[in-house]
Each structure stands twice: as C-alpha cells, then as structure tokens.
Amino acid sequence: MTDTTHETSTVEMSVGCRTAETTAKVAGVFAIIFLVLLVGNFIGTSVLAPRRENRLTAMKVEVQGGEATEEQLAKIRQLDLEIRRDRIWRLDFARKTSYALLVSVVLFVVAGKLVGTLSKQPPRPQHAPDVGAELIREARRSRWSVTAGLAALAGVVALLVVQEAPSAFVEAKEAGPSYASMQEKSEQWHRFRGPGGGGVSVFSNIPTQWDGATGQGILWKTPVPVIGHNSPVVWKDRVFLSGADPNQRQVFCYDATSGKLLWTGDVPTTSAVAQAELEVMPDTGYSASTTATDGYRIYAIFVTGDIAAFDFNGRRLWHKNLDIPDSAYGYASSLETYQDRVIVQFDQGDGSENKSRLYALDGTTGRVVWQEVREEVPNSWTSPILVDVEGKLQIITVTDPWVFANDPADGAEIWRAECVSGDVAPSPIYAGGLIMAIEPYSQMVAIKPTGQGNVTETHIAWRMEEGAPDICCPVGNDKYVFLLEGSGYLTCFDITNGESVYEHDLRDNFMASPSIAAGKLYLLSEEGVMYIAELGPEYQEITKCELQEKCHASPAFVDGRIYIRGAEHLYCIGQAAAADQQADN
C-alpha cells in the first residue's frame, strides 16, 4: 500500500468515525427529549386529567336534582368533550413518542458501536500528503449525514406535534358529546331488538310484501362471510353484524342502501383463548351476541369473552378479553350502550364463586368505568336493556333468581326482585310501565320499576303462570304483551293484569323474537317465513312472506325497511324509493 492510499483510507475512517459520533450525539439528545415528553405526558395523564374529571363530576352533581341552565349544560358538555379529546390525544401521543424514543435509542446504540469500532484502528505514521480535497468531501458528507438525521428526527417531532383529530370526534359537533342521544337512538336500531331492546319500531312505513323466490320486495341480499346467530344492527347508512368460528372473530359493516360489504374488522386471539378448548352448542355458536353502537363506535363481544370496539371506518380502537366465560351453553348476552359506554352483562359459573359481573366500559379506550359483582348469580343468556323510568335511566337485567335494576352512571343497584329461576334466556322488556321477565317454561312476571331495594313483596304487579318461552323474548305495547314459544304457540295477554286474551298455534318453529312495527305483529320462523298479524284481541293474519332461507336472528326495523339475517345472507326488504331517500338524507 502506498502512503497516499493509506492516507486516504485513514481520512475515510476519520470521516466515518466523526459522522457516527455526530449521529450518536444527535440521537442521544432526541432520546432524552422524547423521554422527557413521555414523563410529562404520564404526569398529565395521572395527575392533571383526574383533576379535570373530578371537576366534571362535581359540575354534574351540582346540576342534579335541580333545573340546570343551558349555560351550565353547555359547560359540562364542553368540558366532557375536552376530557375525551385529551384522553385520546395523550394515548396517541404516548404511542408515537414511544416509537420515536425506540428509534432514537437504537440509532444511538448503533452509532455508538460504530464509533467504538472505527476508533480502535490506529493510524500508521506516514508522510502527510495534500488531503485538502478529501477534507472538503469529508465536510460535505458530514453535513449531509447530520442534516439527514436531523431531518428524520424533525419529521418524527412534527408527527407528534401535529396530531390528527381522533376519528371518534371527526363527526362530532364542536361542543357536543361523542355519542348519540336517546332521541337519536330511538330512530335507529342500535342494538339487539332495537331501542330499549323491546322489539318495537317507531316507523309506520314498514314493508308487508316480499318473496324470496322471485325477489319481489327485496332490495338486495349479500353473503355474510362467517356464520353467526346475532341480529343486524342499523345506524343510518350502515348495517353491522358479527361472525366467528373456532379460528376467527370478525365484525362486518355493510352499506345499508346497496348491501356492499364496506369493511371487515378482525378481533385478535389472545393466548388464553388460543389454548382453550371451547365447548359451544350449535344453536349458540361462536357469535351469538348482537353488536351495539353508540352512533360513533360499534362494539362486539364473542363466546370467548373477547370484546372490541371499531370506529365507523373499520379502525379497531381497542380490544380486551374479559375472561373465557364459564357458560353451560355458550355465552350469548348481547350488548347495550349508555352515552359513550358499552354495557356488558357477563354472568357465568354456577354462582358459588361470584364470577358474574355487570360492566360499563369506556367506548374510546375499553377502560372499565365501573363493575358490579353479582353475588351468587349463575350463568344466564339474557341481555341488558336500558329504560327510562319517570325520567331516570335504569339498566334492567334478568338472572337466576333476580331481576336487577342498576344506575347506568355508576352501576349502583336501584332495586331487585326475586322472581325467576333456572336457565333464563329470554331478555326482559319494558312495556305499559312494567318490566316483563320470563322464567322459561314456567311464568312471566310483571314488575313495577319504581321501587328501591328488595321489591319482591311490594312491586310485583302480576304473574302469568301458564308456561313461557325458553328462547324468544316477549314483545308488548300499552295494551297487550305477546309470548311466542319455539314450537310456534303464540299467546296474548292483557298487559295491565296478565289475563289471557287469546292463544294461537302457528304450527311452525321459531328462534327469532317477535316484533311490533307499523301497528302490526311480525313473527319470523326458522324457515324464513314472516307471519304478519294485526295487533288486536284475536289473531288475524294479514299475510305471510317467505324468504327461502333459514333464519335464527331477530330482524331489524328502520325507516321503510327490514333487515333480516339468514343462515348465509343479509337481506334488505323494502322499496327502492325509501332506500334512495334514506341515502339522500
């Protein structure tokens, strides 16, 4: 090797060493900055945020029980919105800053090792040649390297500073809440059996004629990729379903006008679920629980205890496993929503281990807002309903042996009645000012929901002890309550006193619960036959509509349309004009 060649090599090694050293210093500085930012964000989350939440709670307490001014309500809504935005911003900030810190640390370590390697090679003493040109190139390379590193890190900082608005608030009004109002929910079909879980539609333009063989009256039908026995949930231009098998759990979003599958959301498999050997009855399946929406997010829960939330664009917001339910026939309770919370009735076991819970989870994060331990409550298959009793909301659940009422704000028990037993599956309803609870094969109990504490001896209005369905939920209005057994035996009772009005044998099999829409009774059989009858003191059949596909799920009724989930397809029943008008709105 000549002196010139060796000198050039030495200069190149020196250039590399100094470049690596500069990179290590810059990466170290940024790592410290990102660490400080993370610490500051943690302090804001654990110290400052709770103070604001306490202030919001105090403001809410201040207006309870009195006439709140519009200014007070506006301040509460604004602070609530700011708290939720700040919570999502901090979670996103922590995630991105952690990534940036990791990149900086890795860059620092790699550059530091490179400095150590290059500095170990001693230069050989040689005559110093003219290396001015090489030094110029060295300076240029150093400047470019440092500039590129700084630009990359500056890009990461810009990404952290300029945060995207969380998708949960994209459609929210500036000073409004990030959830739909009770009035908005009453005009949609946001949960199992619609508003209040009662199977009653507020619309009068519900279809009464269709034919699956000819396609008459069917706007569209579209395949459902994965099997499930849960019912359609409809919010404006979206229809939601879920499906699952032993290997996957998914949420599906369809365009309500065209039937196009807009997106599929995957729910992860936890290690506990992957290792478990689930025994699920075919009638229950892996996805029996119906989803629910608060107008901004869609929630789904599965037989594995996995629950997840997605925004309306299909982005998974969170996922958690509540534990694999100890359920004799497989977990099947559907979800309810209250404000921006999802309500989960999680009854399991035989009651001896007190494993049953009633949960309220934060819709944006999945955080447990509150939970109520349900002592000596075994597994059940009923779903919670949210009802308005004299201006105050109650969560009603049916278990063995209790019917419970809880405050949705904090989970506190309001009242309980000891009146049912066995493997309870039909969900309760609220009609005619009474809670109707079913004890399968045995009785229906009507309870006045205005009491406090144990109301078993004081608030049971009447009992009907002539048998009751084991699967189908009741449906009722201010005059009548209807029960439908799986074998097709339909009974009608006076809702004020429980006296029998009529009995009728449809001679068909049913799993879907009956519904009331447009002043008519809708009964969907397992064979896909919809029996439509008058609401009156005797059974008067108006018509029968055949879908030509087996049906287990209860239909959804919205403005001018019915959505029915068959064994393989999702159907939209209605007139094209109604669908086009809905799309325009």
What are 332-381's pLDDT values in tens digits? 999 999 999 999 999 999 999 999 999 999 999 999 999 999 999 999 99
User: CA 579 to CA 259: how far, in whole Å?
Assistant: 11
Share of the chain above pLDDT 70, in %: 80
User: Is the distance from CB of 364 to CB of 87 less than 8 angstroms?
Assistant: yes
Does residue 551 belong to any structural domain of this protein?
yes
The pLDDT of residue 208 is above 90: yes
- pLDDT band, very low/low/confident/very high, at 259 (cuts 50, 70, 90): very high
Give the tens place of pLDDT for each residue, 119-156: 665 555 555 445 555 555 554 555 555 555 555 555 55
Which one is predicted more confidently, 1 or 531?
A: 531
User: CA 90 to CA 79: how far, in whole Å?
Assistant: 16
Both tokens of 489, joined, read 């035996």
Give the tens place of pLDDT for each residue, 97-111: 887 888 888 878 777
Q: How high does pLDDT run on average in the chain?
A: 86
CATH code at 419? Answer: 2.130.10.10
Domain that holds residue 110: 3-168
User: Is the distance from CB of 309 to CB of 363 less than 8 angstroms?
Assistant: yes
**Beta partners for residue 446, in sequence order:** 436, 462
- Examine the domain organization and report whether 371 and 460 are in the same domain: yes
User: CA 575 to CA 207: how far, in whole Å?
Assistant: 8
Nearby residues of 550 by Cβ (< 8 Å), 6 or more positions away: 526, 527, 528, 566, 567
User: CA 35 to CA 211: how far, in whole Å?
Assistant: 65
- Examine the domain organization and report whether 104 and 203 are in the same domain: no
Both tokens of 358, joined, read 């009633």
- Examine the domain organization and report whether 437 and 569 are in the same domain: yes
- Examine the domain organization and report whether 154 and 213 are in the same domain: no
User: CA 225 to CA 222: how far, in whole Å?
Assistant: 9
- Examine the domain organization and report whether 219 and 151 are in the same domain: no
Does residue 106 belong to any structural domain of this protein?
yes
Look up the pTM and report it.
0.72
Last residue of a domain, one of 103, 135, 168: 168
- Sheet of 443-447, strands arranged across: 429-431, 434-439, 443-447, 460-464
Which residue type occupies 68? A
User: CA 37 to CA 97: how far, in whole Å?
Assistant: 8
Last residue of a domain, one of 168, 194, 218: 168
Last residue of a domain, one of 168, 198, 231: 168
Does residue 120 belong to any structural domain of this protein?
yes
- Examine the domain organization and report whether 402 and 549 are in the same domain: yes
The pLDDT of residue 583 is above 50: no
- Examine the domain organization and report whether 85 and 213 are in the same domain: no
| The predicted structure's pLDDT at residue 63 | 55
Does residue 174 belong to any structural domain of this protein?
no
Does residue 176 belong to any structural domain of this protein?
no
Does residue 460 belong to any structural domain of this protein?
yes
| The predicted structure's pLDDT at residue 202 | 94
| The predicted structure's pLDDT at residue 155 | 57
- Examine the domain organization and report whether 424 and 547 are in the same domain: yes
Give the tens place of pLDDT for each residue, 37-81: 878 888 877 667 777 766 766 675 565 545 566 666 667 767 766
- pLDDT band, very low/low/confident/very high, at 256 (cuts 50, 70, 90): very high
- Examine the domain organization and report whether 164 and 205 are in the same domain: no
User: CA 555 to CA 232: how far, in whole Å?
Assistant: 7
Give the tens place of pLDDT for each residue, 439-458: 999 999 999 999 999 999 99
- Examine the domain organization and report whether 312 and 374 are in the same domain: yes
Structural domains of the chain, count: 2
Does residue 88 belong to any structural domain of this protein?
yes
The pLDDT of residue 580 is above 60: no
- Residue 63: exposure state from Cβ atoms within 10 A (0-12, 13-18, ≥19): middle
- Examine the domain organization and report whether 148 and 253 are in the same domain: no
- Examine the domain organization and report whether 484 and 376 are in the same domain: yes
- pLDDT band, very low/low/confident/very high, at 173 (cuts 50, 70, 90): very low
User: Is the distance from CB of 37 to CB of 160 less than 8 angstroms?
Assistant: yes
Within a 10 A sphere around the Cβ of 286, how many other Cβ atoms? 23
What are the CA-CA distances from residue 91 to residues 85, 227, 242, 480 (Å)?
10, 35, 27, 50
User: CA 336 to CA 387: how far, in whole Å?
Assistant: 11
Pairing of strands 357-362, 341-346: antiparallel
User: CA 460 to CA 457: how far, in whole Å?
Assistant: 7
Pairing of strands 500-505, 520-524: unpaired
| The predicted structure's pLDDT at residue 106 | 80
Does residue 459 belong to any structural domain of this protein?
yes
Mean pLDDT comparison of 26-35, 146-155, 264-273, 387-396, highest-scoring range: 387-396
Q: Is the dihedral of CA 62, 66, 72, 78 positive or negative?
A: positive
Least confident of 116-120, 372-376, 381-385, 430-434: 116-120
The pLDDT of residue 318 is above 60: yes
